[in-house]
């Protein structure tokens, strides 16, 4: 799997993902389930891979070629 998310980008994704997931516990009713959107940035941060980055030509991983 090619890694294309690096350093600060990865940390921010994890923080935003956890913040969005916390909405599940903070909101009432059906609105709480919008917090599940936090799984996307959390997982892309944990795995250091974003499936949209190659489509737009982005790569924030400092490793040459994104391999590890």
List the chain domain ranges. Answer: 7-58
20 close to 35: Cβ distance less than 8 angstroms: yes
Helix segments in the chain, DSSP class H: 7-26, 39-47, 53-56
Measured CA to CA, the distance from residue 56 to residue 38 in angstroms comes to 22
Measured CA to CA, the distance from residue 18 to residue 36 in angstroms comes to 10
pLDDT tens digits, one per residue of 18-55: 999 999 999 999 999 999 999 999 999 999 999 999 99
Task: List, in order, residues 6 or more apart from 11 with CB less than 8 Å away.
Answer: 45
pTM: 0.85
């Amino acid at each position: 799997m090619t890694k294309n998310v690096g350093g600060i980008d990865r940390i921010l994704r994890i923080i935003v993902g956890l913040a969005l997931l916390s909405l599940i516990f903070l909101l009432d009713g059906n609105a709480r389930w919008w917090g599940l959107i936090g799984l996307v940035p959390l997982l892309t941060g944990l795995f250091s891979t974003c499936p949209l980055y190659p489509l737009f030509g982005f790569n924030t991983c400092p490793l040459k070629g994104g391999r590890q």
